[in-house]
Amino acid sequence: VQPAPRSLPPRTRGQWQTPQSGTIKINFDGAIFTKEHKSGIGVVLCDAHGSVMASLSRQLSQVYNPLEIEAKAASSDL
């Protein structure tokens, strides 16, 4: 007998919204590339019009867990 696989709650997708006037919105995310034994991060800064002001993507030289990847993306520790 094998245990039933854990089911995860369905992910909800929100609609992206532009930030309030005079502010900048920062979106970041991470990815894990297990076969390559690497991780990656991406960061995008948008203004109140939704225009991209800056972006960054970086490959990290090891596999991190999802929380570590997002922390690295949110920090200046790149």
pLDDT tens digit sequence for 9-52: 676 767 777 788 889 999 888 899 999 999 999 999 999 988 99
Nearest to 73 by CA among 33, 12, 29: 29
Note the pTM of the prediction, 2 decimals: 0.67
Distances (CA, A) of 42 to 1, 35, 36, 71: 42, 19, 18, 12
Residue 56 confidence (pLDDT) above 70: yes
pLDDT of residue 59: 92
Distance set, CA 27 to CA 1, 5, 30, 67 (Å): 44, 32, 11, 15
